[in-house]
Amino acid sequence: MLSQERISKLLEQTQEVAKEVGAFIRKERSHFNVDKVEHKGFNDLVSYVDKEAERQIVEKLSAILPEAGYITEEGTNTTQAEVYNWVIDPLDGTTNFIHGIPVFSVSIALMEKDQVILGVVYEINRHECFYAKKGGGAFCNDTPIQVSKAPDLAASLISTGFPYYNFELIDRYLNSMKSLMQKTHGLRRLGSAAVDLCYVATGRTEGFFEYNLNSYDVAAGTLIVQEAGGTVTDFIGGDDFIFGRKVVASNGRIHTEFLNVLNEFWG
């Protein structure tokens, strides 16, 4: 098993990887041609930037932890190892990137078996690097961060994601959002789940929920929320949120009330 000193070093190195690849993405955005966009599925967009960013990340991470496997969005490397696996979203917020909306990020986590032990989310446009290691607290650009102290939903701002395919559950989304609009300071849809989670961690919002997310969308951000003092569960309050595709994150104080509202519509 990796020592704490090694994990701390890996966390530093992972931040540098995220920043380097983030600089590449930022540069490409300045002259991006939308004609180069591809469709993986209905409204599921990808570009050469996603693919090249992932290739660079895998190459750099392979040099610092050769024994690790990978869970990647674009399939650059899909070989998983028994103990350590990198979980990578090279460009979380691709649709924002394509349209020039400045909310997108690089998300990298390292899992030891079924536990996330470090996570880095680099928000490219604001040059904000959020990071954490298990048991070590959460930080943004070397400054410790904590979730907000808002006591209830009435004092909270909530973020979420909207379905852009698989619309069979859209009524549940709309009904839960209608309820939350009336119980909170409001709802926000930023377009990058990794950034949404980090905004909970740093106290800019009090809660986030989304259905149909993948492990690479949430692995890094959920650890950052937890290390900032927040709570992360699935929709029924359990711990199946990395691979279970349902994530609820909060400052902890509002979590039970938040879940109760969601379960009126999600069951």
Q: Which residues are annotated as a binding site?
A: 73, 89, 91-92, 217
> Is the separation of the CB atoms in 118 and 223 below 8 Å?
yes
The number of beta carbons lying within 10 Å of the beta carbon of residue 173 is: 19
Q: Which residues define the annotated binding site for Mg(2+)?
A: 73, 89, 91-92, 217
> Is the separation of the CB atoms in 129 and 122 below 8 Å?
yes
Residue whose pair of structure tokens reads 């599921």 in the numeric block? 44
Find the Cα–Cα–Cα–Cα dihedral 71, 233, 102, 165, rounded to 10°.
70
DSSP string, 153-221: GGG-EEEE---SS-GGGHHHHHHHHHHHHHHSSEEE--S-HHHHHHHHHTTS-SEEEEES--HHHHHHH
d(Cα 258, Cα 179) in Å, to the nearest integer?
11
- Bridge partners of residue 139, in order along the sequence: 131, 144
> Is the separation of the CB atoms in 153 and 258 below 8 Å?
yes
The number of beta carbons lying within 10 Å of the beta carbon of residue 267 is: 8
Find the Cα–Cα–Cα–Cα dihedral 51, 53, 55, 61, rounded to 10°.
-150
d(Cα 218, Cα 197) in Å, to the nearest integer?
8
